[in-house]
Amino acid sequence: MSTAQELVTRSNRLGADPKNTNYAGGNTSAKGTETDPVTGDPVELLWVKGSGGDLGTLTEGGLAVLRLDRMRALVDVYPGIDREDEMVAAFDYCLHGKGGAAPSIDTAMHGLVDAAHVDHLHPDSGIAIATAADGESLTKEIYGDKVVWVPWRRPGFQLGLDIAEIKAQNPKAIGCILGGHGITAWGDTSEKCEKNSLWIIRTAEKYIKANSKKLPFGARVKKYEPLSPAKRRARAAELAPTLRGVASADRPMVGHFTDDKVVLDFLASRNHPRLAELGTSCPDHFLRTKVKPMVLDLPADAPIEKVKARVAELHEAYRADYAGYYDRNKTKDSPAMRGADPLIVLVPGVGMFSYGANKQTARVAGEFYINAINVMRGAEGLSTYAPIDESEKFRIEYWALEEAKLRRMPMPKPLATRVALVTGAASGIGKATAEKLAAEGACVVIADLSLEKAQAAAAELGSTDVAVGVQVDVSDAGAVQAMVDAAVLAFGGVDLVVNNAGLSLSRSLLDTTEKDWDLQHDVMAKGSFLVSQATAKVMIDQGMGGDIVYISSKNSIFAGPNNVAYGAAKADQAHQVRLLAAELGEHGIKVNGVNPDGVVQGSGIFASGWGANRAAVYGVEEQDLGKFYAQRTILKREVLPSNIANAVFVLCTAELSHTTGLHIPVDAGVAAAFLR
């Protein structure tokens, strides 16, 4: 393998195990020689993981490639620690060829250390030693002269110089414990470097296991003991909309919930309030989780209204505390405060809610806080947890380089941060709508009578960070509530609902049975009511507004033959739009409808017999039904599921922020169905 390929292979192995480093945390490097394509002479190069990459999924394209001669020459122009941030821009002048990925702040550590291969990682066990009050003496006791303690220093050029000097002064050393931060290891070969990294990590794990106190977090507290799995998830679903509203006061957030045993055990302990207040230490942790979480201080089974009232009080206090943290530490050059809402909310007996600009970010924030809990357990088990000072956390959180990184992020898509729930979404209009909403940035819950089909449709959209499939019979209130609970536990809440589930039986008045009538009204009229009722409650609790869209029909207005039950149910849906628009407007919830006609392609309704019946009514072949419908329209165009999906999207964008109670015809023009 080439040097770059060897580095990627090592990185992927290290990054695949969460015990070694967290998602997108740490970096690796390798030095080697290649031929300069301009001069034909050999040139020493550094390959290092670029800014923002993840070791577990790293590819060669994610490596920054720099000339070592130019990199080392930066030492001679280094202006000192007060201006070390300028050195990041200087890395651009060291790039080889097209340079690959953008160099990260840790590039100096890798380039200046005199070793062919270097790993910098954030293992829980290593950070536990790094954040222990007596971490320096523990490092000596655990590792002897093989690993050297480095007092806390913010990542940057000076830290690279410090570690290079430590390597030079300690020939027996294979790596460092970086106070408050993580570990660094090196080796002459890639294999040796990886072996040294793993030895440091595993040695810390073994020492903690052998020497830790029995109850690192203190005795368990009865009132904070976990509820049963069913009860805690039910309570989580009750709380999720309120907590998402709390996390989204400054800007909308997507949520994630976990009741991992690590979290529940931490929250059931006596010392969890003290430790949570101390906050996280590793920069990768608090950049994702904020410096500390918001912690509910009531028993898990407290009355829900009392819990919600307490959440409001705690949120107000949290915002004031965060503003104080900002004001105490800001300088004249500090970026503006980015938001004072918590990204981690801990609920004893229930679990942890984490938040981010998308589902992946929210989920990873939760994973990072679990890392932080593991760190605290290790540090408290051996000593006392002592994270870096508040002022140092602020310097990194509001670092000009971090601000620049945030500004380089791409503009969010129109529906970013929005959680959409679409019923009848495994086929036809519903599936096309789910695809459109996901493509425009929404997280999507695909609900269908068939769980298998719902999950398959969700999988087509991407991972569970993008879409999940759930089963629902919309005519069953219990099933509807279970669907909504699944949605809020998956993504934190619901913002955009599409009432699309439907069916039809094409029969004359005399042939329509009471069962036919009830079935169609149960699914479309009653079903839409139940879904709107359950999701409107979530939206009201969130306090973030929202959209409810009904997929009604041209038949809600147009009177056609052999269609009494279907047409009447669609007319019911159409009037629900008007009624709910009038009622829910005070909560910022818009309610609109779409009236399709003749959507044959991909339609579950048409495939289940409706198409054959309608074709018989109109005297055409079933396979020609779409063309028939097109020819009777003003525009002479066949209506496709994507056309309805586009209408739903437009109704839910900022461009129609002042529109509610509207029905949009998507029928290619049927004069008899014009809205009057």
Active site residues: 566
The candidate with the shortest Cα–Cα distance to 483, out of 468, 497, 472, is: 472
Structure tokens at 620: 């055409």
Q: Sign of torsion, CA 400 406 409 414?
A: negative
Structure tokens at 454: 């719902």
List, edge to edge, every strand of the sheet that includes 496-499: 467-471, 443-448, 419-423, 496-499, 546-551, 589-596, 663-666
- DSSP for 132-145? BTTHHHHHHHHHTT
- Report d(CA 166, CA 637) in Å as an integer: 74
Query: 389: part of which helix (H) or strand (E)?
Result: none
- Report d(CA 117, CA 175) in Å as an integer: 11
Longest dimension (CA), the chain: 97
Segments in 212-303 forming alpha helices (H): 229-247, 261-267, 272-278, 283-289
- Report d(CA 398, CA 403) in Å as an integer: 7
Are the beta carbons of 197 and 189 closer than 8 angstroms? no
- DSSP for 63-102? EEEEEHHHHHHGGGG---GGGTTHHHHHHGGGEEEEEESP
- Report d(CA 378, CA 124) in Å as an integer: 8
Rg (C-alpha) for the chain, rounded Å, is: 30
Q: Specify the 3-state DSSP secondary structure of 639.
A: coil
CB atoms within 10 A of CB 165: 12
Q: Specify the 3-state DSSP secondary structure of 535.
A: helix
Tokens 């460092």 label which residue? 176
Strand partners, 469: 446
C-alpha angle 651-656-657 in degrees, rounded to nearest 5: 110
Q: Which string of b and e fits 90-102 if b means at least 16 CB within 10 Å?
A: bbeebbbeebbbb
For residue 661, CA distances in Å to 422, 423, 570, 593 come to 19, 20, 15, 8
- Report d(CA 565, CA 505) in Å as an integer: 8
Instruction: Taking each helix axis as running N to C, give the angle between helix 190-211 and helix 3-16, from 0 to 180 degrees, rounded to the nearest 10.
Output: 20
C-alpha angle 89-93-96 in degrees, rounded to nearest 5: 125
The candidate with the shortest Cα–Cα distance to 389, out of 280, 275, 276, 274, is: 280
Q: Specify the 3-state DSSP secondary structure of 43.
A: strand
